[in-house]
Amino acid sequence: MSLTEYRRKRDFDKTPEPGPSRRKSKDGALSFVIQHHLASHEHDDLRLELDGVLKSWAVPKRVSRKHGVRRLAVEVEDHPLEYGKFEGEIPKGEYGAGTVKIWDSGTWESESDPHEGLRRGKLVFTLSGDKMKGRWSLVRMRTEESKPQWLLTRLSKAR
């Protein structure tokens, strides 16, 4: 169900991106990835694993590691787990045409039930990557739009 939009937007005969297969949730740590996407508009894509897919946000001004910095994060369609390993060139004319590179990856952990957090529009979480280490929050600002807008904020160390 949740990969329907991912499938609809892409022609897998033309794009090298992974197909829309959904994985069973596995035990253990959940993965995250930040992909730098040099498309018509340069941005970062933040993806957090949950329920066998990658919940995804496009961050137009790029993610920041500086404490207190806030960035707009536009919710986009769920991506398959395999997308977290994807780097490459999406051909001209295809959805998201341009270059995708992995900027950082690792594991993430929500400070409360992530399903409820996503539903309610507030997620506080820790990223353990090579570059991204520490706490961030995602807070939904507007829900009436087709692409819900969130605010991604780098939090201080103290809880």
140 binds Mn ion (CB under 5 A): no
Residue with tokens 């009436």: 144
49 binds Mn ion (CB under 5 A): no
DSSP codes, 21-34: PPPPP-SSPEEEEE
CB atoms within 10 A of CB 41: 9
Q: Which is nearer to Mn ion, 62 or 67 (CB)?
A: 62
CB of 50 to Mn ion, least distance (A): 18
44 binds Mn ion (CB under 5 A): no
37 binds Mn ion (CB under 5 A): yes
CB of 54 to Mn ion, least distance (A): 12
Distance CA 5, CA 2 (A): 7
CB of 31 to Mn ion, least distance (A): 18
Contacts of 97 (CB under 8 A, 6+ apart): 39, 40, 90, 91
Q: Which is nearer to Mn ion, 45 or 77 (CB)?
A: 45
